[in-house]
Structure 1
């Protein structure tokens, strides 16, 4: 997928390290990031006519990719809770 547009590292270059860490440490983040990658790949294949689709399906896929991207961004930008030692 090296030349597939809209990869998370390209969308959020300032969070590449955090994305890598969360993929390893947070099961929910890993799941939605994987879903994003699958959806992004499907959109790329449709846009390049490798697996053409109709306009309605393309719109639905793009909306789902945006929903996932918004959720990912929310996780990346939420303040981290730092526990203080007693």
Structure 2
């Protein structure tokens, strides 16, 4: 698995093949998965801290996760990779 995709694999283990496929073929997916990894790393660094910055990171991670899930489950994508 390419470096950095572990966070996505943990978040969406049932979509591992699609994550790999989209990361290699879809520029938009690649960008937002990179943003998800960056936000996840920032949240780990902010662990145990309270405040607006941590809350903003958590909100951003949630929004990215929702967008990623939408891309992983869109019908045209699933048809491209799965028989």
Q: Same fold (TM over 0.5)?
A: yes
| Cα displacement (A) at 1:54 | 4.9
Partner of 2:19: 19
Structure 2: unaligned runs, 5 residues or longer: 1-5
Structure 1: unaligned runs, 5 residues or longer: 1-5
CA distance in 2, matches of 1:46, 1:59: 10
Task: Return the structure number with greater helix share.
Answer: 2
Larger Rg: 1
How many residue pairs get aligned? The number is 74
Q: Which runs of 4+ in 1 moved over 2 A?
A: none
Give TM-score scaled by structure 1 length. Answer: 0.78
Give TM-score scaled by structure 2 length. Answer: 0.80
CA distance in 1, matches of 2:8, 2:29: 12
1:1-86 mapped onto 2 (5 Å cutoff): 7-47=7-47, 54-80=50-76
CA distance in 1, matches of 2:20, 2:41: 19
Q: Render the CA deviation track for 1:4-50: whole Å, top value 9, x for unaligned.
A: xx9110111010111011001000000000000000000011106xx
